[in-house]
Structure 1
Amino acid sequence: MKQQSGGHYLRELEALRRAGRFREPTSMDPACVDMASNDYLGLAHREKLFKRACRRVSAYPWHAPKSSLFVGGHHPIHREFERALCEANGFEAGVVAGSGFLANLGLIEALVRRGDTLYIDESYHASGMVAAKLVQGEVVTFAHNDPEDLIAKLAEGSGRGRKIIAVEGLYSMEGDRLKREFFDIAEWFDALMIVDEAHSSGTVGPRLLGVFDHYGIPIQERHIKMGTLGKAYGSYGAYILASKEIVSFLHNRAKPLIYATAPSLFDIALAHEGFDYIGAKRKKLHKKIKRLKRVAKKATGREPEGMIVPLPMPDIQTAIRLKEALKADGFEVGAIRPPTVKSPILRIILRTSVKAAKYRALFEKIEELLHG
């Protein structure tokens, strides 16, 4: 029987179309050069990592977690990866999660209790903003990557309960890196500090471990690091690193950990292979990253702080027009529109598997399309 459309949301869908905000699932065109995805290091294309992950999973008599982490689903593959992340990053404990969205949702909703205050960057990922609506405590947003505004708002606080600061290591749309001062602020105000390293893990720091690595921050009990596996690590899923106390608390309070099937064994195995690859090849990867950043700096006048290059567009229509024109020329880039961003941008991702010459050609084409 053919399902009939009830028309319940047609008006809203039409409004989105008129505003240029309508979305549909799309696939990367294999004929185009991928300069849009978050596969920063090209690991999603490395067949050897895929085969190694298959062997890692095949070493066990079952290939799926089968249940939640707390009903027998915590597999040796999960434990091995959690241990490797803790040892490399200097944290006491860790836990894997099904996705970055679920990790942020569970982390923030669980930690901010009644009487506590969450101080969250206004540009924090949507997952954190959704979680902020679920917390029992107070929520205060502060100006993007602005230490002075955070200090002012912390000083205005009641002083009751825990203070929890939520920031990102590298912001996904702006492309800017977390300022060093935020680590000091957390100490001054005795606050817990959540750092979402989704876009900085694998791309920033001497060991490519993120902003803790970049700034040489000694890990303390107040520090909590969250990261995803679907970006530089070339897989899918997420992790949370923290003190034993906080990880144990999350085991008992974070609903997306408790009430969801444990993460895919293959995805975690693949991320582990990607993580090991980055550790072994970091010198080579650093050279490639620096080369691409030089190209971006020459084209835009500013060296990227990570591997995200946002190019402001005058309006939504121009962003969409340029994206389509670039795709016709063989370049796949992102056209990011409100409400994801305040103003439309072309979002260029520097990927080490793409040659610098391709990026030079891309930036020249964008200049031609905008001002030609």
Structure 2
Amino acid sequence: MNFPYESELKALKRSGRYRERSIRNAGLIDAASNDYLGLAEHKELHMKACETLSHYSDHAPKASMLVNGYHPIHAAFEEALCKANGFEAGIVMGSGFNANIGLIEALVRKGDVLLMDEEYHASGIAGARMCEGEVVFFPHNDTKVLQRELEHFKGKRIVVAIEGIYSMGGDLVSREIIELAMAYESVLILDEAHSSGVIGEKLMGILDYYGIEPTPLMIKMGTLGKAYGSFGAYVLSSEHISHYLINRAKNVIYATAPSLYDTALAHHALEYIQTHTEALREAIRSRQKIVYDTLGIECAGLIVPIEIGDNREVMRLQEILKNEMGVHVGAIRQPTVKKAILRLIARVEISEALLRNVCERLMQIWVK
């Protein structure tokens, strides 16, 4: 049998869910990626990362962190992240996907309970399938159901997993969800992939946004491939939980340590965010206002989800914007979302005039 998955591929094509890779077209304006602040295009950050690497005899980690892959570049970035976010300890990791899997598989032991928002990222769901404890998905941002589950499992070790800004809906986790987890003394995983660098007085994410101080039971997972314009991830926590993860998380123990270049690049991106905070916040606010004024959509961050509902129609609309305006927006289909959406990212590198034009054209072609 030379084509063992032919029937599955045909079914995907029939339903409009078949996916293909295409090489990025540099001639298109990027309104699809998660490079929210445009830092992936800042050449000075690249040059600074190369300069940092030039001070060392090696430019690759060479081994896992627990062999001899833990480098001064890793340690310096972890220290800077802890200082910026108010946590005791940090661990840089290879990607947000493997950080979520490693975290959840390690933290949820036999006899424990994981309470996860139903719209948590696919990486967390994959981790949930690997863990030894009981897994319960609660309705998205539903405080009443979460409180009922917390009360039901009182007395056990409970892990609650939520996102700061949800990647497809673009909405914030409610403050009440965080406060419930704190009140019931649950271990709280905050996936800040789409909120770190985008919201908060210091642009540090959801805790910064709500003015909540980290507690010893909070774990912040952030990615470096979005607002930070690099690649990789980090986990911030108490010293106690950090020591546990170093001894239990398989992605820390068995994987080669993260890229030194990407870690150095992310460190310089953090410094850029810290020294340009107010200008970035103003750029974010102005783009949120344009989206609200033209589309009537209130954005928590820079994700603008436009529900289309049809897999083929969302691809057609994406092509219209490419061909007419030279703008690439995301066309997201099932199973990533329940109903197909155009996912416009109002990146700060997109001029305000162009963003307004794109939104106005969307209003013309979008049938609500």
TM-score, normalised via structure 1 length: 0.97
- 5, 10, 25: which one pairs with 2:6? 10
1:272 and 2:281 equivalent?
no
The DSSP-based 3-state class of the residue aligned with 1:95 is strand
Number of the residue aligned with 2:292: 297
How far did 1:298 drift?
0.9
Offset at residue 81 of structure 1 (A): 0.2
> What secondary structure is seen at the aligned counterpart in 1 of 2:130?
coil
1:62 aligned counterpart, secondary structure:
coil
2:190 equivalent in structure 1? 195
Which of these residues, 103, 107, 110, is aligned with residue 111 of structure 1?
107
> Structure 1 CA distance, aligned partners of 2:23 and 2:227?
19
- The residue that corresponds to 1:148 in the other structure is 144
For 1:152-188, what per-residue CA distance to the aligned partner results, in whole angstroms no more than 9, with x for missing partners? 122222x343111000000000000111112210122
Aligned AA for 2:197? G
Gaps of 5+ in 2: none
Alignment correspondent of 1:84 = 80
Is contact 1:225-1:242 (8 Å) kept? yes
Amino acid across the alignment from 1:310: P
Q: Is the 8 A contact 2:295 2:360 kept in 1?
A: no
Note the 1:280-295 alignment, pairs <5 A: 280-295=275-290
Structure 1, gaps ≥5 residues long:
none
Query: Secondary structure of the equivalent of 1:133?
Result: helix
2:346 maps to 350
CA-CA distance at 1:369 after TM superposition: 2.0
Distance in 1 of aligned mates of 2:241 and 2:258:
20
Shift of 1:51: 0.2
The corresponding residue for 2:30 is: 34
Q: Does 1:334 align with 2:330?
A: yes
Q: Work out the CA distance in 1 between the residues paired with 2:202 and 2:18.
A: 40
Distance in 2 (CA, whole Å) between partners of 1:53 and 1:25 is: 29
Pairwise CA RMSD: 1.2
Percent of aligned pairs with the same residue? 49
Aligned equivalents of 1:37 and 1:302: distance in 2? 19
Match of 1:236 among 223, 231, 237: 231
Native 8 Å contact 1:173 1:347 kept in 2: yes
| CA displacement 1:193-234 (0-9 Å, x = unmatched) | 000000000000010000010011111101100000000000
Contact kept, 8 Å, 1:29 with 1:332, in 2: the verdict is no
Corresponding residue of 1:123:
119
C-alpha distance in 1 between matches for 2:234 and 2:270: 13
Q: Name the counterpart of 2:365.
A: 369
Q: Which amino acid aligns with 2:295?
A: T
Provide the aligned length of Structure 1 versus Structure 2.
367
Task: For 1:22 and 1:54, locate their aligned partners in 2 and report how far apart those are by CA, in whole Å.
Answer: 39
Residue matched to 2:200: 205
Query: Aligned runs of 1:218-237 on 2, under 5 Å?
Result: 218-237=213-232
Partner Cα distance (2:169, 2:367) in 1: 23
Distance across 1 between alignment mates of 2:32 and 2:198? 16
Q: 1:69 Cα shift?
A: 0.3
In 1: Cα distance, 2:229 partner to 2:62 partner: 23
How far did residue 371 of structure 1 move? 5.0
Deviation per CA, 1:46-85: give whole Å up to 9, x if none.
0000000001011100000000000010000000000000
- Contact 1:95–1:247 (8 Å) recurs in 2: yes
In structure 2, what residue type is equivalent to 1:281?
Answer: H
Q: Output the amino acid matched with 2:141.
A: N
Partner secondary structure for residue 115 of structure 2:
strand
SS at 2:366 equivalent: helix
How many angstroms does 1:287 deviate by?
Answer: 0.9
- Secondary structure of 1:298's match? helix
Letter in 1 for 2:91: V
Secondary structure, aligned partner of 2:222: strand
Residues 1:310 and 2:301 are matched in the alignment: no
Equivalents in 1 of 2:256, 2:114: separation in Å?
28
Counterpart check, 1:324 vs 2:319? yes
Structure 2 equivalent of residue 247 of structure 1: 242
